[in-house]
């Protein structure tokens, strides 16, 4: 465990004005997104599309790192450089998604999931470090519904996250822990706040139990928002207030920083919510973004698999990255989206 390297990596992830691009979609997720714009989900198309994002001129000013899928970590840019090396040469830290997806939690109510991937993880971490990855991500999923989440679900996912984090740190890779509270459903923002707090309390209790160094991890947090099926969609100021209240109650001050997932929010809404939290000036840690669709959507819908659309797609990606960079400093305004 190289604590000096871990400290440098964690600090760089949450550097001022920068955030993470989550480009770690599985082939199955890519299939859904590519099919929406009429693009075949081949390995080569996935490589080309991600290369489009990574090679966007000037985007290194807004990205501290990129979360890669295993396939992408092993692929090469058009110039022949492995993507990890290509990104590092631009000052962007390569990261890697290491979980292996969700399965039903045994003997639990319908809808409750637990994340797999701990078997053989220590060996994989050593390989990922050699391939250039310096941080990792593991996503747990918490669903809000009738009678759920249960204590068993919160407990199982928290302990998986903690075991993963310990394995990462042993390999000198910074773990990003992601207990995602899904916005699917018609629940109120009050219920979302309650569940988010419970999930984070479980996670930090488990991290302590497994001796995970708090100074050498990053939290990837859900925002406290209304369920997308709820008639009342809380405004940005309320989202910011409730999210920060939960984080202050649960996240230790030793945490180097918090990056937020967009979780299916609309592009501009995710930016507005982040900006409201940062602009409040009340967070004891750096706050920034770790977005997938909220960064990529305009680029993907502009590209549509056509070489002639690459520059326009890169311009769209650059704009969203710049908007979120501004939000991470509390300097975004809606009229900047014009």
Write down the pLDDT at residue 165. 98
- Looking up tokens 């407990």, which residue turns up? 155
- For the segment 270-295, the average pLDDT, to the nearest whole number, is 96
CA–CA dist 176, 196 (Å, integer): 17
Looking at domain 3-332, its CATH class is alpha beta
Is there a contact between 196 and 181 (Cβ–Cβ < 8 Å)?
yes
pLDDT surpassing 80 at residue 284: yes
pTM assigned to the model: 0.95
pLDDT surpassing 80 at residue 149: yes
Average pLDDT, the chain: 97
- For the segment 309-315, the average pLDDT, to the nearest whole number, is 98
Q: Is 220 a catalytic residue?
A: yes
CA–CA dist 25, 43 (Å, integer): 12
Which among 40, 179, 186, 21 has a CA at the least distance from the CA of 95? 21
Residue from 97, 180, 220, 241 carrying the catalytic annotation: 220
CA–CA dist 322, 331 (Å, integer): 11
Three-state secondary-structure class, residue 166 = helix
Residue from 178, 180, 197, 241 carrying the catalytic annotation: 178
CA dihedral 21→22→23→28, nearest 10 degrees, is -160
- Cα distances from 241 to residues 175, 212, 318, in angstroms, run 27, 29, 29
Residue-wise pLDDT for 50-69, tens only, equals 999 999 999 999 999 999 99
Q: Is 3 a catalytic residue?
A: no
- Looking up tokens 């941080």, which residue turns up? 135
> Which residues, 6+ apart, have CB-to-CB distance to 255 below 8 Å?
214, 215, 217, 218, 219, 285
Residue-wise pLDDT for 69-94, tens only, equals 999 999 999 999 999 999 999 999 99
Give the single-character DSSP code of 332.
Answer: -
**Strand ranges, E, within the chain:** 19-23, 63-68, 93-97, 102-104, 113-115, 135-142, 174-181, 218-221, 258-260, 287-291
């Amino acid at each position: 465990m190289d604590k000096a390297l871990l400290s440098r990596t964690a600090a760089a992830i949450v550097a001022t004005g920068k955030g993470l691009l989550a480009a770690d979609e599985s082939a199955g997720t890519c299939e859904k997104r590519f099919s929406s714009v009429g693009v075949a989900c081949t390995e080569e198309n996935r490589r080309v599309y991600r290369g489009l994002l990574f090679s966007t001129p000037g985007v290194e000013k807004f990205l501290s790192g990129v979360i890669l899928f295993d396939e992408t970590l092993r692929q090469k840019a058009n110039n022949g450089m492995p993507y990890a090396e290509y990104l590092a040469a631009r000052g962007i830290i390569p990261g890697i998604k290491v979980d292996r997806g969700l399965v039903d939690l045994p003997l639990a109510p319908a809808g409750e999931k637990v994340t797999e991937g701990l078997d053989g993880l220590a060996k994989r971490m050593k390989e990922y470090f050699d391939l250039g990855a310096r941080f990792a991500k593991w996503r747990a999923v918490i669903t809000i519904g009738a009678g759920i989440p249960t204590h068993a679900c919160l407990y199982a996912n928290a302990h998986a996250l903690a075991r993963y984090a310990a394995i990462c740190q042993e390999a000198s890779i910074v773990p990003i822990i992601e207990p995602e509270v899904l916005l699917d459903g018609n629940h109120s923002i009050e219920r979302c706040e309650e569940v988010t707090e419970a999930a984070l309390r479980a996670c930090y209790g488990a991290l302590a139990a497994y001796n995970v160094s708090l100074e050498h991890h990053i939290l990837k947090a859900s925002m406290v928002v209304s369920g997308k099926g709820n008639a009342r969609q809380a405004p940005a100021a309320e989202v910011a207030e409730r999210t920060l209240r939960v984080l202050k109650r649960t996240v230790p001050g030793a945490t180097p920083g918090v990056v937020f997932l967009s979780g299916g929010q609309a592009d501009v809404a995710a930016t507005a919510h982040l900006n409201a939290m940062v602009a409040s000036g009340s967070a004891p840690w750096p706050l920034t973004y770790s977005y997938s669709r909220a960064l990529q959507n305009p680029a993907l819908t502009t590209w549509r698999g056509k070489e002639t659309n690459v520059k326009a797609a890169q311009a769209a990606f650059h704009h969203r990255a710049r908007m979120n960079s501004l939000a991470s400093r509390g300097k975004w305004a809606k009229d900047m989206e014009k």
